[in-house]
Amino acid sequence: MSHSPLTELHRTDRIGWLRAAVLGANDGIVSTASLIVGVAAAGAASNDILITGVAGLVAGAMSMAAGEYVSVSSQSDTEQADLARERHELATDIESERDELTQIYVTRGLDEPLARQVALQLMAHDALGAHARDELGISHTMTARPVQAALASAGTFAVGAAMPLLMVVAVPSGALIPAVSAASLLFLGLLGGLAARAGGAGLWKGAGRVMFWGALALGITAGIGRLFGAVV
Rg of the chain (C-alpha set)? 25
Side-chain-facing half-sphere of 169: CA atoms under 13 Å:
8
Higher pLDDT, 142 or 82: 82
pLDDT per residue over 99-122, tens digit each? Answer: 888 999 998 888 889 989 988 898
The arithmetic mean of pLDDT across residues 182-200, rounded, is 79
Compute the average pLDDT of residues 127-156: 79
CB-based contacts of 113, cutoff 8 Å, min separation 6: none
pLDDT in the model for residue 230: 44
Is the Cβ–Cβ distance between 28 and 161 less than 8 Å?
Answer: yes
DSSP 8-state class, residue 121? H
SS3 92: helix
Q: How does pLDDT run across 1-57, given as a tens digit for each residue?
A: 444 444 444 444 555 556 667 778 888 998 898 889 888 888 888 888 999 999 999
Condensed to tens digits (0 to 9), the pLDDT of residues 52-86 reads 999 999 999 999 889 888 888 888 888 888 889 88
pLDDT of res. 232: 38
pLDDT tens digits, residue range 41-52?
888 888 889 999
The DSSP H or E segment spanning 220 is helix 203-231
DSSP annotation string for 123-164: HHHHHHHHHHHHTS---TTT---HHHHHHHHHHHHHHHHHHH
Contacts of 181-188 with CB under 8 Å at 24 or more apart are 181/33, 181/37, 181/215, 181/218, 181/222, 184/29, 184/30, 184/33, 184/214, 184/218, 185/211, 185/214, 185/215, 185/218, 187/29, 187/160, 187/163, 188/26, 188/29, 188/30, 188/214
Mean pLDDT estimate for the chain: 81
> What single-letter amino acid sits at 98?
R
Predicted TM-score (pTM) of the model is: 0.67
Instruction: Annotate 2-12 with b (16+ C-beta within 10 A) or e (fewer).
Output: eeeeeeeeeee
